[in-house]
Chains A and B, each alone.
Chain A
Amino acid sequence: MKMKKLVVALACAGALSGSVGAASGPGYDDPDNWPQYHRSFNAWRFSPLAQINRDNVARLKVAWIHQPGNITHGIQATPIVVDGVLYYVSANNNVWAVDAASGRTLWRYEPKLDPLSKQTFYAAASRGVTVGRGKVFLGTLDGRFVALDQKTGKEVWSTQLTDLKSQYGALFSAPPQLAGDVLFGGTTGGDQPISGKIHAVNADTGKPAWTFEILRDDPESWPGDSRQRGGGSAWMPGTYDPRTDTIYIGTSNAAPDYFNADRKGDNKWTASLLALDPKTGKLKWARQEIPHDSWDFDSAYEALMVKGADGKDVIVHLNKSGFVFVMDKDDGKLENVWQFAQHVNWVKGIDPKTGRLIDPVYPEEGKRKLFCPNLLGARSWNHGAFNPQTGLWYSHAMEVCNEVVAGRDDPANLTAISSLSLGIDEIKLVPPPADKPHGRLDARDPLTGKVKWSIRYELPPLSSVLTTAGGLVFTGDMEGRIYAYDADDGKELWRFNAGSGLRGGPVSYATGGRQYVVVPTGLGSHAPGFLAGAYPQIKDLPGGAALIAFTVD
């Protein structure tokens, strides 16, 4: 322990703003900024800054607070920070540029949204913006990509990509991502009777470049007309590896979620990880993780990239099912599948060599069945973080099950933009058998799942995780407590009560020679509502919206 502290201290001393200067490459580059959604294309959510570290984190104090003024669905964004300016999005697609040292507003963009967007189920919330090429890019609640001037916030272009009326309110709840001069992203719609698509435009002009049809045109995979309303949207941000010019993006569950009788077949490419060519939008390869998904097991989460046993990068990909898929980043060939959730009963296991589901248990019409994990997954979309110094992947987990009676959707009720195609007669979120419902923060070997340490919470935290070269892990819970833990052993080193829960992505950056940790607070999203059955106390948790910056004097 003494030796490690010495190494960190030496590393700090050698770097301008406290970053660990020795390392470079993906995950380490551009240490003072948080330039993209996961900071780096390998989705580490790791800040190489070490000015704030295990020795001084107890002195972490509020530097400034930015309040967007509208608390609807809290703040779900991961802020972007470039050269001392922080960009984020609050309710109803309001975009803010904020001085990252003082919290002063530099500009604000308030879009004129189509009134139809008020009727959508996934209303109000967005998970962020993307910054690059002198612009700030936004995916809107009325189905557009919009580019703003990075300096002024004035609209540069706006391109309508979906039709809310005919596509059940398909909208962009996640920031579209850059792949060179291509801007790409998918919509909401995994639980809606649509056919999911990934859209791409030229980032400088907004001119549409290509559209990728996620549901494969293959009658074996989609018998009859099931493909027309099979779900399969890509509702989280993808990542772009410039080394191989490859987009990685995950896809949602198939629809109707639990009623699978009318969509026999494996339903490609729902519940899959896709590798796309950004220039053409053609599929390079795909790995379907949950064939014939019948449990709402989206696979839309981040494609974490870490060194495999042979030193070559591999993709580590958690999906809602409670399993993590480790695969070759160049062809998706499986290297391992390991169980992430403690409570799994929808399948006996997944073959780590072939990915075959072993004895899956499917929902049945009119029969009440218990499934673990529940429809929110073994973890919600709140991202994990990887620290190259510890070699550990830090991810939240949730152990909650659901009792489901599958049933055919009533076509007469699938008429509103807000309609969902869950394929259920009843659903109730319940505790796991012989256990209390709970959440965790696990620190694990990402290749094998071996647990180094784990923290248990009564309510499953819904915040993304941040880890830093200061040997720290930051996150927060649904009740608004923000925590800093020792990355080595999970010891709590600092906490702060924000007053409302966390659902966004904490980030770290440096400006003016000082390191900051910024934490979005304000409980939002539909997840707390989903958790109703298992946690009646959630109804008493307050909403909010405040971006809180911390630093050490």
Chain B
Amino acid sequence: MFVRALSLLSLLAGLSFNSVAVGPAAVEPAREAAPAGGQFAAPFDLADPARIEAGRKRFNKTCAGYCHGFEGVGGRAPDFKGRKDLPVAVMFETITHGRVGADVMPPWGAAFSAEQIWELVAYLRFLGTQS
């Protein structure tokens, strides 16, 4: 885990803002630098209601309709509601890089900033506390 986190950090650190003027970015990882202090952790309190709300809005706009269902229930992925076994680092990494199995989740690291992805993580953590 440490090695993977480290390599992710190095990827994150190497990217610049604003790389796209026309069309989508070709880069995969999140567009902002990792949190200060070198830790693979959220740069803010994941229980902050404002961050959860920002994550909720973005989740509804982007993640819910096509794949994950309203409030993260149903679809072709395990429910997020009531789920407590997902480490935040795994959530962050999966949103950033996507995953491939019987279904495909494309990488969203070029669409969202690291801060925005952490807000999504905050919302998923919140859903984990809901029943």
Q: How many residues from A make CB contacts under 8 Å with B?
A: 52
Query: Would you give the shortest CB distance from B32 to chain A, in whole angstroms?
Result: 12
Query: Would you give the shortest CB distance from A163 to chain B, in whole angstroms?
Result: 8
Task: Tell me if B111 and A526 are in contact (CB < 8 A).
Answer: no
- B73 CB contacts on chain A under 8 angstroms: 532-533, 536
> Would A422 and B103 be within 8 Å (CB), given that A538-B75, A539-B76 are in contact?
no
Complex A-B: 28 CB contacts under 8 Å: A72-B100, A72-B101, A119-B110, A165-B26, A166-B23, A166-B24, A169-B24, A413-B58, A415-B24, A416-B106, A416-B109, A425-B57, A426-B60, A427-B64, A428-B65, A528-B76, A529-B66, A529-B68, A529-B76, A529-B77, A531-B75, A532-B67, A532-B70, A532-B76, A535-B74, A538-B74, A539-B76, A539-B78
- Binary CB contact string for chain B from 20 to 36 against chain A (1 if under 8 A, 0 otherwise): 10111110100100000
Query: Would you give the shortest CB distance from A144 to chain B, in whole angstroms?
Result: 17
Supply 15 further A-B pairs (C-beta < 8 A) apart from A529-B68, A529-B75, A536-B69. A116-B26, A118-B98, A119-B28, A119-B98, A121-B66, A407-B61, A415-B110, A425-B57, A425-B60, A526-B67, A533-B70, A533-B73, A536-B74, A537-B74, A538-B75
Task: Tell me if A124 and B106 are in contact (CB < 8 A).
Answer: no
Task: Tell me if A426 and B64 are in contact (CB < 8 A).
Answer: yes
Identify which of residues 488-536 in chain A touch chain B, using a CB-to-CB cut-off of 8 Å.
Answer: 523-524, 526, 528-536
- B101 CB contacts on chain A under 8 angstroms: 72, 543
CB of B40 within 8 Å of the partner chain: no
**Residue on B nearest A427 in the bound complex, by CB:** B65
Task: Tell me if A417 and B24 are in contact (CB < 8 A).
Answer: yes
**Residue on A nearest B60 in the bound complex, by CB:** A426
- A531 CB contacts on chain B under 8 angstroms: 74-75
Task: Tell me if A524 and B23 are in contact (CB < 8 A).
Answer: no
The 7 closest A-B pairs by CB, nearest first: A543-B102, A532-B69, A532-B75, A416-B111, A532-B74, A418-B106, A166-B23
> Would A73 and B103 be within 8 Å (CB), given that A166-B23, A418-B108 are in contact?
yes
Give the distance in Å from the alpha carbon of A118 to the alpha carbon of B102 in the complex.
Answer: 14
CB of A167 within 8 Å of the partner chain: yes
Give the distance in Å from the alpha carbon of A166 to the alpha carbon of B69 in the complex.
Answer: 29
**Residue on A nearest B79 in the bound complex, by CB:** A539
Give the distance in Å from the alpha carbon of A444 to the alpha carbon of B104 in the complex.
Answer: 36
Give the distance in Å from the alpha carbon of A124 to the alpha carbon of B102 in the complex.
Answer: 10
Of the residues B31, B69, B106, contact of A121 by C-beta under 8 Å: B106
A-B Cβ contacts below 8 A, count: 152
CB of A103 within 8 Å of the partner chain: no
Give the distance in Å from the alpha carbon of A428 to the alpha carbon of B22 in the complex.
Answer: 31
Of the residues B58, B79, B107, contact of A416 by C-beta under 8 Å: B107
Task: Tell me if A530 and B65 are in contact (CB < 8 A).
Answer: yes
Task: Tell me if A413 and B70 are in contact (CB < 8 A).
Answer: no
CB of A168 within 8 Å of the partner chain: yes
- Binary CB contact string for chain B from 81 to 115 against chain A (1 if under 8 A, 0 otherwise): 00000000000000000101111101111111000
Give the distance in Å from the alpha carbon of A285 to the alpha carbon of B112 in the complex.
Answer: 42
Task: Tell me if B61 and A425 are in contact (CB < 8 A).
Answer: yes
**Residue on A nearest B102 in the bound complex, by CB:** A543
Query: Would you give the shortest CB distance from A524 to chain B, in whole angstroms?
Result: 7
- A165 CB contacts on chain B under 8 angstroms: 23-24, 26
Which of A119, A123, A410, A533 has the largest count of B CB atoms less than 10 A from its CB? Answer: A119
Task: Tell me if A539 and B75 are in contact (CB < 8 A).
Answer: yes
- B111 CB contacts on chain A under 8 angstroms: 413-416, 418-419
- Binary CB contact string for chain A from 255 to 266 against chain B (1 if under 8 A, 0 otherwise): 000000000000
CB of B62 within 8 Å of the partner chain: yes
Give the distance in Å from the alpha carbon of A532 to the alpha carbon of B78 in the complex.
Answer: 11
